[in-house]
Structures are given as structure tokens and as C-alpha cells.
Amino acid sequence: MTAARRVLWTYLLTGIAVFTLMMLLGIAMRAEQARWVAFGPQIFYAMLTLHGAGMITSVALCGMGGLWYLMRQEGELSAGAALVAYALVVLGVVAVLLSVFPGGFAAGWTFLYPLPFVGATWPSWATGTFLIGIMLVSLGWTAWCFQMLAFTLTRYGGWAGASGWNLVFKRDAEPHEAPPPQSIAAFVVAVDGVLTGMAGMTIGVALIAHWLSPSVLVDPLWAKNVTFFFGHAFANLTIYMALGWVYVGMARYTGREYHTTKILAIAWWATLVFVAIAYFHHLYMDFVQYRPLQYVGEIASYLSAIPATAVSVWGSMLLVYRSRMRWTLGSIFLFTGLVGWVVGGIGALLDASIPLNFDLHNTLWVPAHFHTYLLGGVFLFALGLIYMQLEERSGRCSPPLLRWIIGLTTFGGMTVFLLGFYVAGANGVPRRYAIEPSPGPLTASWATVGALLLLLGLIVVLIEAIRLARLPAQDPA
Amino acid sequence: MAKGPLVLPAFLVLAAAAMAVLLLVALSTRLSPLPYSQVQPEGYKLRRWWFVILSLGLVAIFAVTLPWFPYPPLRAAAHATKNGTLYVKVIAQQYAFTTPSVLPLDRRIVFEVTSLDVNHGFGIYDPRGQIVAQVQAMPDYINHLPVTFTRAGHYTVRCLEYCGIGHASMQGGFDVR
Amino acid sequence: MSSSRRIAAYLIGALTLAAALAPLVSNEDVSIPEHHLLHALLLAGAVTTALLASPDTAGDRNGAWLIAVVGSPLLVMFLMWPSSYAYLDAHPMAHVGDHLSIALLGFLCTWSGQRYARGIGWIGGLATVSMAVLAAGGFGVVR
């Protein structure tokens, strides 16, 4: 295995392993909300905290590994630097894990100051360990972003080249060529990622300062803004990282070519801005927030649908439309990932409308939409990437019957699981409740059944992946 | 008015439409293949329409829904007592709300919501169990939430911001009559 | 490096150092947000100096530089610990040491960034300055 592939698989396998563990916690929580089991609130909220922090990190790891590997195909990248970023993230995950089990830290992954310090039912060291863990993840992430940024800047001729500016304004930039779509994605993610990491470090140090010397006070509204800027952008960027290989994969499976166009570059500039400023929608119900920012939040959230649908989804649909598409598990996962992204986006747009948010804010509608595009989007994109690699390596794909079994269990289970959230959210059931009011327990019981079905499907996905991985590698000729 | 139940059908219709489009695109690969040079220009032409319709549509929705934004008028309504507005203090604290036990029907009420410890959410559920209003309860800040109740009965208050392990049991309520 | 650029680097560097010495001549009370913003200015000076003084090469993309790029802003934040401000106001020499460390780290972040790959220095520097500005929004409030 080459060094580049080792980096890819290190990231991907860690991401998928963490994802699987977190999924089990998720099922346990839904089962508790369905009142099938009773762990009690202390354990429930500890699981919730770990689930959130672990999931977001697991999809980020898949995204970082996948996009790094694609950039490695474009030029020289240091595997060592990628592994340092990886090590920082994994150390962070370990610290978070220790803070939750055995530490008992249960404030949620995007807790809002002064929460973890007031009314804590866990020891102070657990709070500190959690903060240090998140800080390490943030450091690893920032280091990765700087590596991507440095690569795109050097490879495509500085800011004007890497951003696509030269292409849009037809400036000749010899000897540098225009970046392919996945490189534009890497550039935009890296720029937003540095901003995100910066905000994460700022709030992280502020909270660590308060932890070590409680006389250092932090403004709660400021803390909320910075926390959500960090949390929102970090979560959002996991999708945009995955788009890098969606572009590449779709082109490969359809045998068509996907190039950077002016429109694509401009769409990504828009994305760069929207990812950074859409987070204001997390503060809609903070009426003291400076009012124009609420409007900015709604408009940015709305408009982010334009580059997403008109460029990435549209472009992928054109690649597929009446092509000689090879429908293998790899391409099916990539394509259904688009479905999850769009459907989750619709849920998000409704929630981003302030009059509707008044009724939906912090109900189960919120996990409904983000599970749709993290589980039904980014996670499927990650499976698509894994299968694409396995299929290309072995030159084989999975038999049709197996594809049907996997499709029905995975997507069927996922739909039932997600509908539980949507129905409960529309009926006002709050999110993050260990014990939910009606109709929470009922919808949680469907959701648990759906999640178990999904788990069954994913076990088949895993077994099939192992089978493909053990096939002899195809002759590269 | 509770809009939650209206959201679900709207979502399902839009989601079904999006899934149908993507499914049709997927099924199109069963037809005889077309060269990409033929698909691309047509697709780009269609995309222009999508871009225009979506952009205008989103901006229009923003503009048209502005009157339904729940925010109080900017010039803080400290003088508004004249026109009969009732100001009601709400204090949230792990894990309970302090509110009056009875509030008037059909009268403009402005809740002045704050917290003594961490962030909470002040979520008001009407007698049918639908959310009718909510605002964050923050330490160091006071959020003003204007509401007029048009339905008599018992309203439940639930915490809508994670505030610690007693979060799910943080409830209050008042009668409107 | 052109001579005008060299002169600008020395000039801004000297101004930044002079600004770092401010606590020796003035012990005026400044609020915590103002203090953060003054540190942002100090950082801006250090970052500009580093940008002007760094060599005009493409950078060697050696991952070791990244440690300084990512680590320096973090350390800067720790040096802006608000509860230490009262102590620093009372101890001018310690305060100058704090300022010099902040400026040095701002310089280090930017310089290392440019050595890693051209263009990284100023985004790292800009991030460091922005963090200090961001901190003024609410890191350390008086109730």
C-alpha cells in the first residue's frame, strides 16, 4: 500500500469505527426515549454528549482523509503532516471519551457557557478534560486546513489561482493550470476551516480560563455566538469536504468529465461566505441579539441552497442523466447521499425561516434535519468513497441481489428512523430530553426499530466491504 | 398560532418532489445514453431558470414572511403600558420557572425573560400541546417576548435549551382566562 | 528584498517594540475589551513586520512550521488571560514581558507560515489578530 493510501485508510477506518460506536449510543438513547430501557438522565446525557462530539469528529475524519487523498492525486503532499493532524484529532477524541466515561461530563458537545460550570453533576477534571479534548480536535483540524490551504496555494498559483479567480476573470496564470472542482472545494473548506479553528481556539481558551480561574467571566451571548460559529461551520464543512469526491466519483462512474467552470468557482465563493455567516440562525430565539444579524442569518441560510442545488446537485444530475452510469454500491451510495443532502436541506430551510423557527427551535426537528444530511448525506458519501476504492482496486462490484438487500434495509431503516424525529419535532417534542412528552415515546419507538433495521443493513455493508477488500487487487493494466 | 403541524406536510411534499426528480434522473440511465455534449448545454439552460426561480422565490419568502417575525419592536416598549400591554417577569433557574399562575386572555403580554444561572429556553405550549411561543432565557440578559393568548386553558412551559441533567423535568405553567 | 521593504520592516518592527513598552510609561486603567484590542494592534504590528521581513520564497512545505502556525495563536490567547490584567497593571515589567511574548508569537506564526508556503503567513497572522479582536467581544467581562 502506498503512503497516500495508508493516510486515506487510517482516516477512513478511524472515522467509520467511531461512527459505528456512536451509532450504538444513538440507538440506546432512542430506546430510552421510547421507554424500552432506562439508564437515567446522568448516563443519557453523557451518551448524548459523546454521541454529538464523536459523530461530528467521525464524519470530519472521513472528510479530511478523503479530501486529502484527492489532493494527493493532484500533487505532492506530506503524509507526515496529515498524520500529525490525525494524531491531534484522535488524542482529542480520547480526551473527550475519558471526560464522558468515566468522567461523567454531560453538558452536550456545543454546551452554552456558563453551563458546564454551574450545576455540574460531574467532577471539575471532567470539564477540563472535555475542553482540552475539543481544543485538540480543533488544533488538528486547523493544522489539516493549513496543509490543504498551502497545497492549493502552491499548486494553483496563489490566492487568485486556487480560488478560481483567474479562471473567472480569464487571467492567464501560466504555468499554473486551473484547479479541478475538488481542489476548489479543498481551498474553500480550508479557508473556512481556519476561521472555524480560530473561533474554536478563542472560545476554548476563554472556557479553559474560566475553568482554571473562575473569576474570569465570559459574556454568555458572545460565548453563544462563538460556540455556534465554530460548531455550525465545522459540521457544515463536513458536507463540503465530501463533495470533493462526489464530483470525482460521479465523473468516474458515468464516464463523463467534470471541469471547473466559472459558475462552479463563483458558487464556491458564495458557499465560503454562507458557511461562515449562516450560523446566526442558531441565535434566532435570542431576541437580544443585534437584530440585523437575525436577518443575515435567515438570508444566508436560504441562499446557501443556491450554490448547493444549482451547482453541486445540478452538476451531479447532469453527469448522471442518460449516461452509461454503472450502478454499483459505490455509485448508489454517492447518489443517495445527494438525496439525503437535499432532503435534509429542505428540512433546514424550513427551520431557518424565523416564523417557523419560533415553533421548531430546539425541538426534534433540529436533529431531524441534521441527521438527514449527516447520516443520509455525509455518511453515505463516505461509504461511497470506501466502496469506490474497493471496487476500483478489485475490479469487481457486488451482486444485484445484495444491492437490493442493502438498499432496502439501509434506506428503509434510515427513512423510518428519520421520520420519527420529523413527526415528533413538528409536534413540538423538545430535543435533548431523556424523558419526552407525548408523542415523543411513540415516535422514538418507530425510530428505534428503523435504526435497528439500518444497523442490520450496515452490518451487511461491512461484511460485503470485507469480502471486496480480500479479493486480489486487479492488474493495474 | 402553532405552525408546527403545517410544517410536516410542507416538508413531506417538498422532499417527495426532490426525491422524485433525483429518482427520475437515476432511472434515465436505463434509456439509451446521450452524449454529454448534448446533455450539458440543455442542462445549463434549464439551470438558469432554476437559479432565477429559486433566488427570487427565497428572497420573496423572506420579504413576505417578515410580518410574522416574532421579535418585539426595536424601540423597547417600556412606555407601552399605556396601551394596555402587560409586562410579566419570567425567571428561569435550574430546574424551574418562576411565572405568575394566571394570565389574561386576549391581551398583549410581554414576557421579560431571564435566567439566574445557565441558558434555558422558555417554551410555551398551549392547552392542545402545541408550541405557541418561545424565547431563550439567558443569564445577564433580558429577552422580551410578546404574546397574545387567544385560547383559554392551562399552558405548559417547557425548557427548550439544554441546561443540565434535570433539563427534561424543567416545567412550569399558568392558566389563561 | 527591496530596500524600501527592508526599511518598512525595521520601522514597523521598531514601532511594535516601542508599543510593547507602553506599560513602562503609562499605567492608565484600560477596560478588558480595550486591553484585548490594544493587544490586537500590537499583534497587527508584529504580523506586518513578519510579512515584510519574511523571505520571498515559495516555502519548503515542511510540516514542522505548521506547529508554530497553529500553536502560536493559541499561546497568544493564553497570554490575554483577563484575570491577569490586574496583576500586570501593577507590575509594568511583567506587563512588558507579556507584550513582548505576544508580539513574538504573532511574528512567529506569520514568519513560520510564510516559510511553510507563501500566503499561509498572512492568513495565520490575520487569524491571530482576529482572535484578539474576537476576544474583545466577551472574553473577560466585569459584572
Of A78, A198, A221, the CB nearest to C131: A198
Copy the grid coordinates of residue A179.
Answer: 484547479
* Percent of chain A's residues with pLDDT above 90: 96
| Contact (Cβ atoms closer than 8 angstroms) between residue A12 and residue A60 | no
Of C63, C117, C134, the CB nearest to A80: C63
Each residue of C82-115: pLDDT tens digit?
A: 887 778 888 889 999 999 999 999 999 999 999 9
Residues of A in contact with C131 (CB under 8 A): 198, 201-202
How many Å apart are CA C124 and CA C114, to the nearest integer? 9
Residues of A in contact with B71 (CB under 8 A): 287, 291, 294
Pairing assessment for the beta strands B102-103 and B131-137 based on DSSP bridges:
unpaired
User: Cβ–Cβ of A320/B4 closer than 8 Å?
Assistant: no
User: Cβ–Cβ of C118/A154 closer than 8 Å?
Assistant: yes
Distance from CA of B177 to the nearest CA of A (A): 23
- Among A388, A396, A391, A351, smallest CA distance to A369 is for A351
What is the Cβ-side half-sphere exposure of residue C84, based on CA atoms within 13 angstroms?
15
| Contact (Cβ atoms closer than 8 angstroms) between residue A420 and residue A444 | yes
| Contact (Cβ atoms closer than 8 angstroms) between residue A339 and residue A404 | no
Residue B3 above 90 pLDDT?
A: no
User: Cβ–Cβ of B33/A305 closer than 8 Å?
Assistant: no
Q: Which of C134, C142, C143 to mutate to test the interface with A (most CBs of A within 10 A)?
A: C134
Report yes or no on C48 lying in a domain.
Answer: yes
Distance from CA of B76 to the nearest CA of A (A): 11
pLDDT on residue B153 = 97
Residue A253 above 70 pLDDT?
A: yes
- Among A8, A2, A109, smallest CA distance to A50 is for A109
Pairing assessment for the beta strands B171-176 and B102-103 based on DSSP bridges:
parallel
Report yes or no on C47 lying in a domain.
Answer: yes
Copy the grid coordinates of residue A95.
Answer: 480526551
Range of the domain at C22: 3-136
Distance from CA of C135 to the nearest CA of A (A): 7
Copy the grid coordinates of residue A319.
Answer: 453527469
Distances (CA, A) of A55 to A192, A229, A362, A373: 20, 18, 19, 13
Backbone angles phi, psi at A374, to 5 degrees: -90, -45
Provide the angle, in degrees to the nearest 10, between the axes of the packed helices A220-254 and A380-394.
30
pLDDT on residue B76 = 56
Report yes or no on C141 lying in a domain.
Answer: no
How many Å apart are CA A141 and CA A445, to the nearest integer? 37
pLDDT on residue B124 = 98
pLDDT on residue A477 = 47
How many Å apart are CA A393 and CA A473, to the nearest integer? 5
Rg (CA), chain C: 15
Each residue of A47-100: pLDDT tens digit?
A: 999 999 999 999 999 999 999 999 999 999 999 999 999 999 999 999 999 999
Backbone angles phi, psi at A398, to 5 degrees: -85, 150
Is residue A84 less than 8 Å (CB to CB) from chain C? yes
| Contact (Cβ atoms closer than 8 angstroms) between residue C75 and residue C43 | no
How many Å apart are CA A338 and CA A332, to the nearest integer? 10
Q: Which of A84, A146, A152 to mutate to test the interface with C (most CBs of C within 10 A)?
A: A146
User: Cβ–Cβ of C140/A218 closer than 8 Å?
Assistant: yes
How many Å apart are CA A131 and CA A134, to the nearest integer? 5
The stretch A272-301 carries a mean pLDDT of 97
How many Cβ atoms sit within 10 Å of the Cβ of residue A98?
17
Report yes or no on C92 lying in a domain.
Answer: yes
Distance from CA of A181 to the nearest CA of C (A): 21
The stretch C41-70 carries a mean pLDDT of 92
Residues of C in contact with A217 (CB under 8 A): 140-143
Is residue A174 less than 8 Å (CB to CB) from chain C? no
Domain count of the fold of chain C: 1
Each residue of B23-76: pLDDT tens digit?
A: 999 999 999 999 999 999 999 999 999 999 999 999 999 999 999 999 998 765
Helices and strands (DSSP H and E) totals, chain B: 2, 9
User: Cβ–Cβ of B164/A121 closer than 8 Å?
Assistant: yes
The single residue listed with the C-alpha cell 424550513 is A350
- Among B6, B149, B128, smallest CA distance to B86 is for B149
Give the list of residues 6+ apart from residue A1 with CB closer than 8 angstroms, or none. Answer: A9
Residues of C in contact with A141 (CB under 8 A): none
Copy the grid coordinates of residue B87.
Answer: 409586562
Please list the residues that pair with B88 across neighbouring strands. Answer: B111
Give the list of residues 6+ apart from residue A124 with CB closer than 8 angstroms, or none. Answer: A211
Is residue A194 less than 8 Å (CB to CB) from chain C? yes
How many Å apart are CA A8 and CA A2, to the nearest integer? 10
Residues of A in contact with B55 (CB under 8 A): 303, 306
User: Cβ–Cβ of A149/C63 closer than 8 Å?
Assistant: no
Report yes or no on C143 lying in a domain.
Answer: no
Residue A197 above 70 pLDDT?
A: yes
Is residue A59 less than 8 Å (CB to CB) from chain C? no
Distance from CA of C134 to the nearest CA of A (A): 8
The 3-state secondary structure of C14-32, one letter per residue: HHHHHHHCHHHHCCCCCCH
How many Å apart are CA C1 and CA A235, to the nearest integer? 42
Each residue of A305-314: pLDDT tens digit?
A: 999 999 999 9
Report yes or no on C102 lying in a domain.
Answer: yes
Of A80, A146, A201, the CB nearest to C77: A201
Give the list of residues 6+ apart from residue A118 with CB closer than 8 angstroms, or none. Answer: B94, B117, B118, B164
| Contact (Cβ atoms closer than 8 angstroms) between residue A357 and residue A284 | yes
SS3 B128: coil
| Count of residues in chain B | 177
Cis peptide leading into residue A439 (ω within 30°): yes
* H or E element, residue B176: strand B171-176
DSSP code for A313: I
Backbone angles phi, psi at A111, to 5 degrees: -65, 155
User: Cβ–Cβ of B61/A302 closer than 8 Å?
Assistant: yes
Confidence bin at A464 (pLDDT 50/70/90): very high
Q: Which of B134, B140, B154, B170 to mutate to test the interface with A (most CBs of A within 10 A)?
A: B134
Distance from CA of C133 to the nearest CA of A (A): 10
Of A81, A213, A216, the CB nearest to C66: A81
Residues of C in contact with A114 (CB under 8 A): none
The single residue listed with the C-alpha cell 412528552 is A437
Count CB pairs under 8 A between chains A and C: 117
- Exposure pattern of B25-47 as b/e (b: 16+ CB <10 Å)? bbebbeeebeebeebbeebeeeb
Residue C28 above 90 pLDDT?
A: no
Report the residue of chain B nearest A372, measured CA to CA: B15
Residue B77 above 70 pLDDT?
A: no
pLDDT on residue B75 = 67
Q: What stretches of B11-161 adopt beta strand conformation (E)?
A: 86-93, 96-98, 102-103, 108-115, 120-125, 131-137, 143-148, 153-159
Q: Which of A309, A358, A364, A429 to mutate to test the interface with B (most CBs of B within 10 A)?
A: A358
Distance from CA of A418 to the nearest CA of C (A): 37
How many Å apart are CA A245 and CA A382, to the nearest integer? 9
| Contact (Cβ atoms closer than 8 angstroms) between residue A410 and residue A387 | no
| Strands of the B102-103 sheet, one edge to the other | B102-103, B171-176, B153-159, B120-125, B131-137
How many Å apart are CA C27 and CA C30, to the nearest integer? 9
Distance from CA of C15 to the nearest CA of A (A): 27
How many Å apart are CA A373 and CA A243, to the nearest integer? 12
Helices and strands (DSSP H and E) totals, chain A: 18, 0
Q: Which residue has the higher pLDDT, B41 or C29?
A: B41
Give the list of residues 6+ apart from residue A65 with CB closer than 8 angstroms, or none. Answer: A7, A8, A9, A10, A11, A12, A15, A86
Residues of B in contact with A286 (CB under 8 A): 136, 138, 141, 143
Q: Which of residues 223-262 of A touch C (CB under 8 A)?
A: 223, 225-226
Residues of A in contact with B20 (CB under 8 A): none
Provide the angle, in degrees to the nearest 10, between the axes of the packed helices A329-351 and B4-27.
150
Each residue of B109-163: pLDDT tens digit?
A: 999 999 999 999 999 999 999 999 999 999 999 999 999 999 999 999 999 999 9
Give the list of residues 6+ apart from residue B35 with CB closer than 8 angstroms, or none. Answer: none
Please tell me which chains touch B, using 3 or more CB pairs under 8 Å as the contact test: A
Residue A370 above 80 pLDDT?
A: yes
Give the list of residues 6+ apart from residue B116 with CB closer than 8 angstroms, or none. Answer: B91, B92, B93, B139
Each residue of A116-127: pLDDT tens digit?
A: 999 899 999 999
Sign of the alpha-carbon dihedral angle for A306, A311, A313, A318: positive
Give CA A112 to chain center in angstroms. 21
User: Cβ–Cβ of A198/C74 closer than 8 Å?
Assistant: no
pLDDT on residue A474 = 83
How many Å apart are CA A142 and CA C120, to the nearest integer? 12
Copy the grid coordinates of residue A393.
Answer: 482496486
Report the residue of chain C nearest A162, measured CA to CA: C119
Report yes or no on C142 lying in a domain.
Answer: no
Give CA A225 to chain center in angstroms. 20
How many Å apart are CA A60 and CA A55, to the nearest integer? 8
Report the residue of chain A nearest C128, measured CA to CA: A198
Q: For each of the domains in chain B, give its residue range(s) and CATH number, in order of start.
A: 4-68 (no CATH), 77-176 (2.60.40.420)
pLDDT on residue B80 = 54
How many Å apart are CA A145 and CA A81, to the nearest integer? 11
Cis peptide leading into residue A179 (ω within 30°): no
- Among A144, A110, A139, A147, smallest CA distance to A230 is for A110
Exposed/middle/buried for A89, CB within 10 Å: 0-12, 13-18, 19+? buried
Residues of A in contact with C58 (CB under 8 A): 154
Report yes or no on C22 lying in a domain.
Answer: yes
